Amino acid sequence: MPKILVVDDEVHILKIIDYKLRTAGYTVITAADGVEGVEKARTERPDLILLDVMMPRMDGFQALEALKQDSATKAIPVFMLTVRGKEMDRLRGLQMGVAAYITKPFSPNALLARIEEALRPA
């Protein structure tokens, strides 16, 4: 079953996403900030990463840059999941290579559908 890394400093968001993905059959790994997220991406090699933008220690854009510069993690699809819905933030994420830029609040069902679509074999 595909493994998904969820990186967010909001515990209730982690719990909602963890529950939704686990009940859909996914393996879920969580991280509370960008530094921990990058470390877990390198060691766990998830199939997809959900990444918040506003976090302590290392924000989502810094984490995304670290992931894209590492040969071990650069091919992993990343969805940014954030309250930052300004067009300039969305464009920055897309220019940096995110597979999707989703703003909070979000529909867990729609998020699951996007994840399933991204992980579907070509």
Asked whether the beta carbons of 73 and 41 are under 8 A apart, the reply is yes
| Spans of all domains in the chain | 10-48+62-77
In Å, how far are 25, 53, 91 from 57, measured between CA atoms? 31, 11, 23
Query: Which tens digits make up the pLDDT trace of 34-51?
Result: 999 999 999 999 999 999
Mean model confidence pLDDT for the chain: 93
| Predicted local confidence at residue 23, as pLDDT | 96
pLDDT tier at 19, thresholds 50, 70, 90: very high
| Predicted local confidence at residue 14, as pLDDT | 93
pLDDT tier at 122, thresholds 50, 70, 90: confident
Q: Count of alpha carbons within 13 Å of 56, Cβ hemisphere only?
A: 4
Name the percent of the chain lying above pLDDT 90: 81
Prediction pTM value: 0.94
Q: Which residue's structure tokens are 């992993």?
A: 76
Closest CA to 116 of 77, 80, 81, 90: 77
Query: Which tens digits make up the pLDDT trace of 25-34?
Result: 999 999 999 9
| Predicted local confidence at residue 13, as pLDDT | 92
